């Protein structure tokens, strides 16, 4: 893995500053501490930080073609690069390294922008084509690797992280009010926007060509779910063996590396599946890594140990204490350059740091929930339909709210009162908005109390992006549209963002076999009833893995990778919260109303209301704002 950046000044007489390019490389050095390199011809500057995984000695970037008419910087891994290299050699291309990076460059020479169609991997890359006086940028299909860009002063500026662009003196640090509004609800800013006005994320499955005519952006691939609705009815047994073999071959393919590879093992079905397949394919004993919590309702480490014992991995466990979290929270903006309200970033970072002490590359189980319909919210979508039809209106309107008021507030992991309040908050809400309300933080009525009046006139519908994705989805079934929405938004904007920032901050490469091109193509064609079977999510995956995993792991309910933030806010993090959400801080920024923030604090500290999501979302924004804008 690497970090990449660049300045393209082909439409201006202002030359690319070497000092600015070097500063952009410096701020992302954590992504690639092994080597740094730049190319600068005055009109185009490219920079790279390399974490050497393949061809340790010969893979320094930027890399050129034979006559140095093209240069590339690349972040990611291409799993089918060896087959592509053989094809290109047959076509007469000469290689100077053994890297997958150089394969992409020669593939571009052969196919131009269609080169991305042949890549199976995770990637963000930029190619300077001096013959066409153009720069070509592309991002992988699922958005595993990030890529930001902006146009300022007739220049294209891009990089792997937002702070790389902010290192350029021409990039302003103005907050995008629409992005702020969306962050408060989603806990992240959905692509293509970022929190900074005029700075964008290149969306998954898109490429950009920048030349004398300006910027041209195009989608080259999109996930399709319509095929799953036209399959004839079949039993799960008709698919089970084929899915198993697809997963097995994919994990084997993603083990390509010149350094040892480990696995992140939570004890859930997804990471356990990846671990089981890895044990079969890896030449040696597999090192597995998990994180535990002092608080039992959050701790999944016993499940991870059970899987490790069953499969025979060399298992390592880190126990996270509230003191460890409190110690690191003030410094999360060292690697978190956009506000991000998913508190599981903390254990993900600490687990990555722990694993990096032993290995340089790990496999992870991310993506299984979005592909196989594993989130409890999908079951809730079905349940709420029954609730509305069966429960009398008077009970729904009057009795249920009273019962919630009488229920004691619990700070345990996804407690009963928390689940019921979230569930009932979805009543009468359109499907796409309801889904994100259940997953996210602030509702509309809460933001109306929180935001200052001056910001409200320029805001758009909070869930506009979700509705737009629903309209472009090729599937007709509502739950398929929810899966599509999850893949486009929550997976890319939350899960993959979190894993990338947390792991790369520790110089650890995380690969995601469940999001491999072959797995995605196979699973998206499966009928919905093989994913969500009545009220059982990941139905086919669980059936397929019965031969390889303990029964209690297959049947255990999903817990999620959460942090006991509700309790930590009241004790270990209390001083930090009171400082960052103080009247002085709030009023100095001018976005929020302090009286409402104080109300949220008072309720939470008195245990009258569990405001963990709202307060954490605000706390992270305050920390980020002070570090990057204030």
Taking the C-alpha atoms of residue 166 and residue 176, their distance in angstroms, rounded to an integer, is 15
CB 61 within 8 Å of CB 50: yes
CA–CA distances in Å: residue 522 to residues 122, 228, 233, 268, 349: 18, 10, 17, 21, 31
Which own/partner pairs from 169-172 qualify as long-range (CB within 8 Å, at least 24 positions apart)? 169/20, 171/196, 171/199, 172/196, 172/197, 172/198
Question: Of 583, 347, 582, 589, which is closest to residue 452 (Cα–Cα)?
Answer: 589
Counting other chains too, the contacts that 531-535 makes at CB distance below 8 Å and 24 or more residues apart are 531/371, 531/372, 531/373, 531/483, 532/373, 532/378, 532/379, 532/382, 532/479, 533/236, 535/379, 535/382, 535/383
Q: In angstroms, rounded to a whole number, what is the distance separating the alpha carbons of residues 606 and 603?
A: 5
Report the C-alpha gap between 465 and 385 in whole angstroms: 24
Q: In this structure, what token pair is assigned to residue 145?
A: 């690797």
The C-alpha atoms of residue 330 and residue 577 are separated, in whole angstroms, by 10
Stretch (H or E) spanning 346: helix 345-356
Sequence-distant (6+) residues with CB within 8 A of 460 are 178, 181
Distances (CA, A) of 505 to 163, 334, 411: 13, 8, 30
Reference 568, options 372, 381, 378, 321; nearest CA is 321
Q: Considering the candidates 2, 5, 49, 473, report the single residue annotated as catalytic.
A: 2
Alpha helix segments (H runs only) across 112-225? 162-166, 177-186
Catalytic, 2? Answer yes
Tokens 């939470």 correspond to what residue? 604
Cis peptide before 192 (omega within 30 of 0): yes
Going by C-alpha positions, the residue among 199, 535, 486 that lies closest to residue 367 is 486
Residues identified as active-site? 2
């Amino acid at each position: 893995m690497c970090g990449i950046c660049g300045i393209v000044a082909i439409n201006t007489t202002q030359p690319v500053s070497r000092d600015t390019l070097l500063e952009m490389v410096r701020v992302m050095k954590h992504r690639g501490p092994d080597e740094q390199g730049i190319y600068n011809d005055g009109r185009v500057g490219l920079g790279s930080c390399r974490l050497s995984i393949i061809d340790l000695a010969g893979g320094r970037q930027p890399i050129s073609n034979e006559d140095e008419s093209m240069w590339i910087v690349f972040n990611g891994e291409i799993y089918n690069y060896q087959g592509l290299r053989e094809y290109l050699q047959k076509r007469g291309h000469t290689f100077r390294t053994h890297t997958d990076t150089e394969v992409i460059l020669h593939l571009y020479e052969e196919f131009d922008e269609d080169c991305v169609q042949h890549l199976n991997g995770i990637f963000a890359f930029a190619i300077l084509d001096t013959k066409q006086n153009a720069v070509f940028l592309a991002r992988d299909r699922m958005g595993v690797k990030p890529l930001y860009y902006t146009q300022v002063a007739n220049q294209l500026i891009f990089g792997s992280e937002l702070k790389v662009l902010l290192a350029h003196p021409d990039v302003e640090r103005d907050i995008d009010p629409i992005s702020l509004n969306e962050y408060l609800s989603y806990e992240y800013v959905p692509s293509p926007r970022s929190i900074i006005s005029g700075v964008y994320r290149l969306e998954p499955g898109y490429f950009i060509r920048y030349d004398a005519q300006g910027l041209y952006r195009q989608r080259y691939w999109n996930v399709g779910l319509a095929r799953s609705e036209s399959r004839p009815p079949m039993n799960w047994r008709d698919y089970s063996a084929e899915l198993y073999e697809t997963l097995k071959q994919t994990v084997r393919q993603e083990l390509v590396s010149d350094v040892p590879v480990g696995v992140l093992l939570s004890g859930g079905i997804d990471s356990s599946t990846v671990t089981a397949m890895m044990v079969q394919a890896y030449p040696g004993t597999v090192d597995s890594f998990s994180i535990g919590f002092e608080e039992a309702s959050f701790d999944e480490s016993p499940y991870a140990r059970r899987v490790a014992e069953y499969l025979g991995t060399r298992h390592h466990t880190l126990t996270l204490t509230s003191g460890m979290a409190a110690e690191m929270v003030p410094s999360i903006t060292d690697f978190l350059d956009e506000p991000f309200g998913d508190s599981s970033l903390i254990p993900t970072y600490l687990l990555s740091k722990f694993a990096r002490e032993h290995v340089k590359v790990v496999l992870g189980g991310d993506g299984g929930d979005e592909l196989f319909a594993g989130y409890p919210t999908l079951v809730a979508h079905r349940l709420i339909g029954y609730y509305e039809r069966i429960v009398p209106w008077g009970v729904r309107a009057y009795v249920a709210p009273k019962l919630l008021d009488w229920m004691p507030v619990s700070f345990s992991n996804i407690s009963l009162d928390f689940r019921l309040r979230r569930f009932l908050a979805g009543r009468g809400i359109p499907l796409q908005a309801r889904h994100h309300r259940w997953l996210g933080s602030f509702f509309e009525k809460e933001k109306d109390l929180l935001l200052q009046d001056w910001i409200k006139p320029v805001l758009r519908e909070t869930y506009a992006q979700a509705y737009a994705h629903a309209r472009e989805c090729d599937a007709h079934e509502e739950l398929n549209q929810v899966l599509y929405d999850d893949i486009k938004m929550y997976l890319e904007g939350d899960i993959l963002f979190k894993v990338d920032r947390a792991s790369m901050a520790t110089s650890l490469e995380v690969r995601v076999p469940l999001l491999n091109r072959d797995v995605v193509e196979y699973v998206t064609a499966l009928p919905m009833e093989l994913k969500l079977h009545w009220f059982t999510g990941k139905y086919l995956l669980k059936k397929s893995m019965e031969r390889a995993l303990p029964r209690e792991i297959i049947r255990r309910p999903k817990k999620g990778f959460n942090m006991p933030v509700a309790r930590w806010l009241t004790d270990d993090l209390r001083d930090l919260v009171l400082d960052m959400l103080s009247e002085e801080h709030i009023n100095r920024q001018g976005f929020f109303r302090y009286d409402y923030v104080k109300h949220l604090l008072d309720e939470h500290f008195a245990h009258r209301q569990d405001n963990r999501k709202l307060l954490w979302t605000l706390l992270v924004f305050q920390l980020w704002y002070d570090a990057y804008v204030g």
